[in-house]
Chains A and B, each alone.
Chain A
Amino acid sequence: MRVGVLALQGDFREHALMLGGVGIEVALVRQSDDLSGIDGLIVPGGESTTIGKLAERFGLLEPLRAAIADGMPTLGTCAGMIFLAGSTTESRPQIQLGVLDVVVRRNAFGRQVSSFEADLEVAGLSGGPTHAVFIRAPWIDKLGAGVEVLAEVEGHPVMVRERNVVATSFHPELTGDGRIHTLVFSTVGEA
């Protein structure tokens, strides 16, 4: 399996390293041509408004929507969750893919001084809780019918799955625990 990491902005290198660590081949995606020949996709952490604008300006929105709608296993972390989602609670709309049927609240835990790390139980993850880093992190305010919650903090969904798409509020790429990457690109791929 070869997984593409959207490399417009953010911590795409950390995702690439994480994939390499669990034995998955990596391709960086900056233009629509880069989507050919990949079997999975990661939208990394970063600034969701920046990633959205660059994806729009360089003609990536429709190719990404098509690939994900076609069943490509996809993981979005933090900004990636926001970019995959249908909408946010913000008054001003931002560019999103709308491939995950949720409403996201950006910076839901607060600004940077409220960023935190904690151990987190994730449904379906064997080997105990994962250590999760939340940075100006979002949570999910509203869930569509087909969306399953895999982890919560204080009753707020911070990891969800809908068909082939998994999104986390936190950054598995920053903590050296490759289990979430393995989970997404094995079980989602078989579904």
Chain B
Amino acid sequence: MEQGTDRVKRGLAEMLKGGVIMDVTTADQAKIAEEAGAVSVMALERVPADIRRDGGVARMADPSRVEEIMAAVSIPVMAKVRIGHFVEAQVLQSLGVDYIDESEVLTPADEAYHIDKWKFTVPFVCGARDLGEALRRIGEGAAMIRTKGEAGTGNVVEAVRHMRTLKDGIRRLQYLDDEQLMSAAKDLGAPYGLVCEVAETGVLPVVNFAAGGIATPADAALMMQLGCDGVFVGSGIFKSEDPAPRARAIVEATTYHSDPQILAKVSRGLGEPMVGIEMERLSDEDRLARRGW
């Protein structure tokens, strides 16, 4: 009997596919998310929109907060650690969380290195803007990828950009001759073995969700039609006027992402979505997606 294997770590992400993972900050929000049909919740101290507003250093949530959320729901619970902060990850693993997000939404703890994720039994999900970044994270042991988008903005434009960039990167590899793959690996800054694998299969070797800016059912369906395996919704639910029906509608839109009639039906009367931010209004320092190396 083997635990913490690649297959087991990547396997949980397989089970989350076609589903919605929702950011929650309290046990009550976690119950609303579960009731709406979320496949998992991300336990946080503050949602990204509030991290953006409040500023300061954003860290791993208080363990008692994470445990309250774990006790409140039967679905898997994820939690975030700062990039490179392997001790926060050790703490979360000891609590028994089901997935760790090494996340650019929190303030990075290391400006050069990410966590060596192979050392852990708990699986990790990491953000990526393009194929090179995704393969570096998988090379470090990430068992799931999410395109970063721009968290806490309620604006899907960056999520779309990252998903398209990732797909372009994969397609480009498929056109190359074998002798070109080492140079491609050098240009991508990605492990050669993984570059060869993607060139061969045409897909990432792990599940890829979309994240960062999804605020409406149509946003979720857009990301699904662009080819992601599922969606993370951060501030988009609990920063909207009426979270429960919106959460439920986003779940339904993710499943029926290719059926415009159902999308029209579930999008009705949801109240105001979260207020969005245009990218031009964000300074370089405020762009969370640029964190990660």
Asked if A and B bind, the verdict is yes
- The reply to whether A46 and B18 form a contact with Cβ atoms under 8 Å apart is yes
From residue 1 to 19 of chain B, which have CB atoms closer than 8 A to chain A?
A: 1-5, 7-8, 11-12, 14-19
- The reply to whether A136 and B39 form a contact with Cβ atoms under 8 Å apart is no
Q: How many B residues, CB 8 Å from partner?
A: 37
Q: Which of B105-113, B179-187, B212-220, B249-257 contacts A (4 or more CB under 8 A)?
A: B249-257
A contact residues around B37 at 8 Å (CB): 49-50, 53-54
- The reply to whether A54 and B40 form a contact with Cβ atoms under 8 Å apart is no
Closest to A175 in B: B7
B contact residues around A12 at 8 Å (CB): 18
Q: What 0/1 pattern do residues 242 to 279 of B give for CB contact below 8 A with A?
A: 00000000011011100100000000000000000000
Say which residue of A9, A50, A135 sits within 8 Å of B11 (CB atoms). Answer: A135
Q: Which of A61-69, A113-121, A182-190 contacts B (4 or more CB under 8 A)?
A: A113-121
- The reply to whether A10 and B15 form a contact with Cβ atoms under 8 Å apart is yes
Known: A54-B37, A111-B96. A47 touches B4 (CB 8 A): no
Binding site for B on A (CB under 8 A): 7-14, 30, 45-47, 49-50, 53-54, 57-58, 78-79, 90, 92, 106-107, 110-118, 133-136, 171, 174-175
Binding site for A on B (CB under 8 A): 1-5, 7-8, 11-12, 14-19, 34, 37-40, 74-76, 93, 96-99, 121-123, 251-252, 254-256, 259
11 contacts between A and B (CB under 8 A): A8-B18, A11-B14, A30-B259, A46-B17, A53-B37, A79-B15, A90-B74, A113-B93, A113-B122, A117-B1, A133-B11
